[in-house]
A = this chain, B = another copy of it.
Amino acid sequence: GRLSPRLGSLLVHVAYFLAVSWLGYLVLAQLRFRAGGEGTRRPGAIDLFFTAVSAATVSSMSTVEMEAFSNGQLLVLTVLMFVGGEVFLSLLGLASKWSRLRKQAVSKSRRVEIHHVAELEMPPVAAAGEFDNPTSMTSTAEEEVSKPLDRFDDTRLRRDAVLSLFFVVLAILLTVHVLGAAAIVAYIFHASSSARRTLRKKALNEWTFAVFTTVSTFSSCGYMPTNENMAVFKRDTGLQLLLVPQALVGNTLFPPLLAACVRAAAAATRRVELKETAKEGEVLTGYYHLLPARRCAMLAATVAGLVAVQVAMLCGMEWGGALRGMSAWEKVSNAVFLAVNSRHTGETTLDISTLAPAILVLFVLMMYLPPYTTWFPFGESSGVKDHPTEETKGLRLLKGTLLSQLSYLAIFVIAICITEREKLKEDPLNFNLLSIVVEVVSAYGNVGFSMGYSCS
């Protein structure tokens, strides 16, 4: 028996990540570690492999000190993060789809030729029968109205759409990386002497730093070439605000950017396949990141709203806490940076463990939310309805019920964490998050368990 396409695709992905990680590990192990790092431990073979896997899968679980890596090793890690990034992977998917569609078109055009030859030899009985039945005619005509192009043209259009989409995504990928790295380099050389001093002290090449950071941020990996991640740039608001848009367009805001670029390209080139791609979106190309315009707008609004909520809570609860010792502007910048990173990238300027429980619960919710979670206030008349495939329907229902239930529970837990924050600090033994979660979920599930805090 053949493998199901889903399992096959999963196996291809796993094989890809394993091969890339293994190759990366071999190159990393061949290269020399940095000479004379004071106090940095050199990672063992297992840690090195784990770092390679972690970079290729953009998860940034760190067990090693990043400053142990030499310039060459950092560049290898950069390549790993680049080829492991979601956008690069989707580019590979588009390329493979295009080649599959081209093969299909070739075999189909051959079949059509054979069919034409056969038709000449055989009397067209079926065709004549069709003309006898007027209702059949009209139904065919109707089908053609709803489906503007017949199947053969459709495959060609699809192939061209996939190819043009490939180039649009490639252009975005290259532009964002070139602009991002150039902006960081320019910032280090011309705007921030403190950032330059920090890099000098750590003996990090500025160009390597800029490229590594850009790739890591855009691919939502979150590695930094420094031991302290972004904590060493806690007061460098310029760098933070340069990284924020990169983290956003590489993750949650990629669909709006892509939709805008496809529209712009369609308007500029006036090519049919780009216009159809802009109109039909995912249905035509099967590209997961291509969402309808309305959904893109709501996605951007959702992202902005979630960031705003997090910034407000961070500023409100940690202004005199974890953010202490900064200027007001630095506090806001740090809050924005942390809010953007809490969803998927995971770079941080602060020690997460010093944050208030209410904020940590909010972060847990943010980490749990899928990237393209969108708040849809339109209900039935939403943009998703245009192509009500089973999956989108299910997804909508899913978002509408389970996800919102979870969100309500999380909001209740957060609210109690805020109102009881003094008790949480003073009496963490009796009054902890677990007791609050038990109370809230017990009330939600109509169970009625109570922890009955002891006052000892």
A residues whose Cβ falls under 8 Å from a Cβ of B = 57-62, 133, 135, 220-222, 341-346, 348, 351-353, 357, 360-361, 363-364, 367-369, 390-391, 393-395, 397-398, 401-403, 406, 409, 428-429, 432-435, 437-438, 441-454
A369 to B445 Cα, complex, angstroms: 8
Whether A352 and B450, one on each chain, are in contact in the complex, defined by CB atoms closer than 8 angstroms, is yes
A62 to B447 alpha-carbon distance, docked (Å): 11
| Distance between Cα atoms of A393 and B397 in the complex (Å) | 10
Asked whether A443 and B61 contact (CB < 8 A) given A363-B449, A437-B364, A451-B353, the answer is yes
Asked if B360 and A446 make an inter-chain contact with CB atoms under 8 angstroms apart, the answer reads no
Complex copy number for this chain:
2
Chain B contacts for A352, CB-based, 8 A: 438, 449-452
**Within 8 Å CB of A434, what residues of B?**
357, 360-361, 432-433
The docked-state distance in angstroms from the alpha carbon of A453 to that of B390 is 45
Do the beta carbons of A58 and B446 come within 8 Å of each other? yes
A432-B428, A432-B432 are contacts. A346–B222 as well, Cβ < 8 Å?
no
Could you tell me the distance in whole angstroms from the C-beta of A431 to the nearest C-beta in chain B?
A: 11
Q: Closest B residue to A368 by CB, please name it.
A: B441
The answer to whether A363 touches B438, judged by C-beta atoms less than 8 angstroms apart, is: yes
Looking across the interface, which residue of chain B has its beta carbon closest to that of A357?
Answer: B434
A364 B397 Cβ-Cβ under 8 A = no
The contact of A346 among B59, B444, B447, B453, by CB within 8 Å, is B447
Whether B449 pairs with A346 at a CB distance below 8 angstroms is yes
Chain B's closest residue to A390 (CB) is: B393
- Contact in complex: A445, B344 (CB < 8 Å): yes
A447:B342 contact, CB within 8 angstroms: yes
Contact with A403, one of B402, B442, B443 (Cβ below 8 angstroms): B402
Asked whether A367 lies within 8 Å of B441 as measured between CB atoms, the reply is: yes
Q: Is the CB of A446 within 8 A of B220?
A: yes
Q: A363: which B residues are within 8 A, CB to CB?
A: 438, 449
Q: How far does the Cβ of A262 sit from chain B's closest Cβ, in whole Å?
A: 27
15 further contact pairs, Cβ within 8 A, besides A342-B449, A343-B447: A60-B447, A61-B448, A220-B446, A344-B446, A344-B447, A348-B449, A352-B449, A352-B450, A395-B397, A398-B401, A402-B402, A406-B406, A428-B432, A432-B432, A432-B433
* CB closest chain-B residue, reference A395: B397
- Closest-CB distance, A374 to chain B (whole angstroms): 15
A-B contacts, 27 listed (Cβ < 8 Å): A60-B447, A221-B448, A222-B448, A341-B447, A342-B447, A345-B447, A346-B447, A346-B448, A348-B449, A352-B438, A352-B452, A353-B453, A363-B438, A364-B441, A367-B442, A367-B444, A367-B449, A368-B441, A368-B445, A393-B393, A397-B398, A398-B401, A402-B403, A406-B406, A428-B432, A432-B432, A432-B434
What is the CA–CA distance of A402 and B394 in the complex, to the nearest angstrom? 11
Cβ–Cβ contact A398 & B390, under 8 A: no
Q: Which residues of B contact A390 (CB under 8 A)?
A: 393
- Interface contact B402-A447, CB-CB below 8 Å: no
A366 to chain B, nearest CB (A): 8
Q: Is the CB of B60 within 8 A of A448?
A: yes
With a cutoff of 8 Å between Cβ atoms, the chain B residues found around residue A351 in the complex are 452
Enumerate chain B residues within 8 angstroms of A391, measured Cβ to Cβ: 397
Distance of A225 Cα from B368 Cα, bound (Å)? 42
Complex formed: what's the CA distance from A401 to B399 in Å? 11
Q: Which residue of B lies closest to A432 (CB)?
A: B432
Given the complex, which residues of B lie within 8 Å of A60, measured CB to CB? 447-448
Residue of B nearest to A365 (CB): B441
Which residues in B have their C-beta under 8 angstroms from that of A61?
443, 448, 450
The smallest beta-carbon distance between A71 and chain B, in angstroms, is 23
CB closest chain-B residue, reference A435 = B353
> Known interface pairs A342-B447, A346-B448, A434-B432. Does A454 touch B58 (Cβ–Cβ under 8 Å)?
no
